[in-house]
Amino acid sequence: MTARWLSAICGCLLALVGSGALAAKAFDMPPAVGISPGALQVELGQSTFSLEDPPGNLSIGDLLSGQPRDWKPIQTSVPNFGYTASAYWLRLAVENESAAPRRMLLNIGYALLDELDVYLIAPDGRIIQSYSTGDSHPFDTRFFPHREYLFPIELEPVSTKGILIRLASTSSLQAPLSLIDSNEFTRLDHQTSLLQGFYYGSMVVMALYNLFLFVSLRRADFLIYVAFLCSFIAFQFSMSGLAFQHLWPQAVVWNQIAISFFMSQTLMWMALLVRQFLRLPEREPLVDRVMVVLAGLSGLLTILSLFLPYQKTIFPLLGLALTLNSLALVMGVKRSLTGDRSAQFFTLAWFVTLVGALVIVLSKVELIPRTFFTEHALQIGTLLEILLISFALGEYVNQQRRARSEAEKRHSLQLEDQVRDRTSELENTMLLLENANQKLKQQTYIDELTGLHNRRYFNQRLEQDFNQASRSHSPISLIMIDVDHFKMVNDTHGHQIGDLCLRQVAGVMGSFPKRASDVFARYGGEEFIVVLPGTDQTAAMMIAEKMRAHVAAAPLGYKNQRTGQRESVALTISAGVACLVPTPEQLVDELLRQADEALYHAKVSGRNQVVSHASIRPL
């Protein structure tokens, strides 16, 4: 977070310096992309111009100096410059066609950019804001903590802003550009996160399942498959930028080599898996030797990736991947033609993955339209591949079982029973763990004494509801409650009776009908608090007054353990009510302060009453 704000402060300083030095130079504004009032997302690729910078030494000042440059229009929806040592500049402009201001996000949806500088330019050439980030910098240099690159753009009514972007990377240099409404991005990102969770969750489950099979059956096939799966998961997690975001956000050097490292590991285990699965040592000795060499080269590249630059290892790895996949497919087809069902599953799995990769490539070169399916074709293909290889492994095991004697068959049936029992135990254990985790999560948000939500939950919800009220320009009310003379109750009747009093008040609060969005919580000690989103002051006062009246009408009865007599404790509460329609400048502390001030006036005015902050007369 600190680095992100430092980056923003540096950007502001650069904007001030740049505006003074370059204000006389008008920005050569390209044709602007119009942002209509109802537009939620606009693709920017084909409205962009590019400038190659082979030495990589052009600065923003050079581009704003007024000197003519050889800007070339981008012809594709995604600017893609392949593997190149050059830096590239992108130039575009956006125009708010609405009479209202727009808050948008510039989204560069490619995680593997080493250097990324973004400049927002006014029509007169002033630098309004600048950002500098990339995966060669710590993750917290990003303005938004996200696997993709997001930059805020404030568009005034009927105005135009220019954008200059500098890109450099040792990986394939591409920049999927779009301008998206912040709320729309949150919605889409939530969907993507669910899909990513399902994808990686399924892969991890398959890895655990096959590891369990290895432990049960002691077959090397399953262990090799688990190693392949783990390497492939790590490779995909690194490629997507999720590993940099969640696992090693400060390990910049490791992040630069992680893709090569895990890709070489994936290829090594893939070669061993193909060799073992198709039984190449027995059936194809020559091809088997080739597979051993490919596995050895992949292992060597695993070591070299720790010392060599990314560009030195990625091209040999791509060549190995093409050779290995082609050879695996040819051998799989050859075995399938003999009627080997496990080989047929295996071949289909490889073919599905290649189809997914082909769909991705065709969508990138715009031979087919970009849709949800084409954007996720590789993940769909690999998930199907994993499932099919699992089926293939199962079929492979079944073939060997059918070739054994009757005694071995009986033994195999016993093993199957053990696998089913242990799988059932694992599923039951996972279910129990899941239930326990849910209960633990619930307990962390529940006050043990009263059964209401605790202060931690209240703080989280108040922040969320306050921000939502600010965005939607709707009221939010807060009722702060204090049990009157509670210390006297404790001193007179004892702390056990004091606890019963708190439960009594909590029971009265809990008996009130409430909406799913309302929060009733214990604030601390004898204080309670109620959050009422979308509720104005009049309604909040009515609710608070009803609570006060119900508490006053329900004294606590108990049996005195020393005298054996029934006794009662009269309970009353004081409540302070505050209501705001938050503005962007207001903080949630203001609502708490007003409620606390209203509560204070209720107590000093005689207690057992409800006071709203709006009714307090200034001194």
Under DSSP, is residue 313 helix (H, G, I), strand (E, B) or coil? helix
Local confidence band at 392 (pLDDT 50, 70, 90 cut-offs): low
Cα gap 54→310, rounded to integer Å: 19
When the pLDDT of each residue in the chain is averaged and rounded to a whole number, the result is 82
Mean of the pLDDT values across residues 465-478?
Answer: 92
Q: What is the pLDDT of residue 609?
A: 93
Considering only residues 519 and 341, tell me which one the structure prediction assigns the higher pLDDT: 519
Under DSSP, is residue 377 helix (H, G, I), strand (E, B) or coil? helix
User: How many CA atoms lie less than 13 Å away from 193 in the CB half-sphere?
Assistant: 9
Burial label, 550 (beta-carbon count in 10 A; 0-12, 13-18, 19+): middle
State both tokens at 175.
Answer: 């920049």
Cα gap 607→604, rounded to integer Å: 7
| CATH code linked to domain 455-615 | 3.30.70.270
The CATH-assigned architecture of domain 192-423 is Up-down Bundle (1.20)
Q: What is the pLDDT of residue 13?
A: 39
DSSP secondary structure string for all residues of 12-61: HHHHHHHHHHHTTS---PPPPEEE-TT-SEEE-GGG-EEEEETTS---HH
* pLDDT tens-digit series, residues 241-265: 888 889 989 998 898 889 889 989 9
* pLDDT tens-digit series, residues 19-77: 333 333 455 778 889 898 888 899 998 889 999 999 889 988 888 887 778 899 998 88
Considering only residues 247 and 380, tell me which one the structure prediction assigns the higher pLDDT: 247
Mean of the pLDDT values across residues 200-226?
Answer: 83
Q: Does residue 294 have a pLDDT over 80?
A: yes
**Which candidate, 378, 379, 393, places its Cα nearest to that of 207?**
393
Amino acid at 247: L
Q: What is the pLDDT of residue 399?
A: 61
Residues 157, 158, 159, 163: is their CA dihedral positive or negative?
Answer: positive
Pick from 171-175, 385-389, 503-507: least confident: 385-389
The CATH-assigned architecture of domain 2-186 is Sandwich (2.60)
State both tokens at 38.
Answer: 């109802």
Question: If you count DSSP H runs as helices and E runs as strands, how many of each does the chain have, helices first?
Answer: 18, 20
DSSP secondary structure string for all residues of 386-448: HHHHHHHHHHHHHHHHHTS-HHHHHHHHHHHHHHHHHHHHHHHHHHHHHHHHHHHHHHTTB-T
**Which candidate, 4, 16, 18, 34, places its Cα nearest to that of 98?**
34
Report yes or no: 132 and 141 within 8 Å, Cβ to Cβ: yes
Q: What is the pTM of this model?
A: 0.58
What is the domain partition of the chain in residue ranges? 2-186, 192-423, 455-615
Local confidence band at 368 (pLDDT 50, 70, 90 cut-offs): low
* pLDDT tens-digit series, residues 395-454: 666 666 666 666 566 676 777 778 787 877 777 877 777 776 766 666 678 888 888 888
Mean of the pLDDT values across residues 488-516?
Answer: 84
